[in-house]
Amino acid sequence: MSTVELTKDNFDEIVSGNDFVLINFWATWCGPCKRFAPIFARSSDKHEDLVFAKVETDSEPELSAAFQIQSVPTLMIVRDNIAVFSQPGALPPAALEDVIGQVRGLDMDQVRASVAESQQSERAE
């Protein structure tokens, strides 16, 4: 499966419309981004049930700012509309597969409860 280009115009539709989205924040001038791109693409071929998307940070500064992207590449995973993973740096293939496996194994009811608890405690402060 090929990766989807995310823009401010299609971001909400793609992320909200899918249960599991891997987002690669990258830049054309970034050497590590260029090395990570084929790893990301090969993983998308292995996991056809997941959405693999990319955001070119120079073309989409609003998205980069919204997610506080400070270095590229940064991999973010959104599951059930909750960002459950975000890490800067190019991952080797085995590490990417491990992260995907860990995110697949998350108990999303527990994640949602944790997010709600965190939001409630922030409001109380």
Of 55, 56, 107, the residue nearest 79 (C-alpha): 107
Q: For this structure, is 33 an active site residue?
A: yes
Q: Does the annotation count 30 as an active-site position?
A: yes
Q: Among the options 22, 23, 33, 76, which is catalytic? A: 33
Tell me the DSSP string of 70-107: -SSSEEEEEETTEEEEEEESPPPHHHHHHHHHHHHT--
Which candidate in 6, 30, 55, 63 is catalytic?
30
Tell me the catalytic residues: 30, 33
